[in-house]
Amino acid sequence: MSEVENLIQKAAKARENSYSPYSNYPVGAALLGADGNIYTGANVENGVNDLSICAERVALFKAVSEGTSNFERLAVVCEDEYCKPCGACRQTLIEHAPDLEVIMANPDGNFRTVDLKNLLPEAFSLGE
C-alpha cells in the first residue's frame, strides 16, 4: 500500500468517529508528520455551530500538542468527490505547514492532490 493510500485509509477510519448529528456530514483527516507519525481527526459538531471543529484542525492540534511541528501530507475524506478543507482549516494549516500536500479523497479511495498554497493563495500572515 502506498503512503497516499495509507493516509486515505486512516482518514476514512477516523471519519467513523465523527460526531456530526447536525450536518450529517462526517469528515476524517490523517496528517503525516515529517517524523513519520500520523495524526488523525474527525469533525466534532456542537449545537452552537461556532463551537464545532473540523477534522483537519483536530488532527493538526493533536500533532502540535504532542510536539510535532513539521508536516508533509494531509488526507481528508468525506462523501464529496474530492473533500476540500474549509477556509478556516486552510488558514490554520498554512500557518503550521505552508508546503503541505493536501490529498482530497472520498470513501471509495478516489482522490486529487493539491499543494496547500494553491488552495489558499496569498494567505494572511502576521509576518508580512
Residue 45 falls in the annotated catalytic set: no
| C-alpha distances out from residue 28 to 77, 94, 123, Å | 5, 19, 24
The residue from 3, 56, 79, 128 that is catalytic is 56
Strands (E), 1-128: 28-33, 38-42, 71-77, 101-105, 111-115
Q: What amino acid positions are annotated as catalytic residues? A: 56
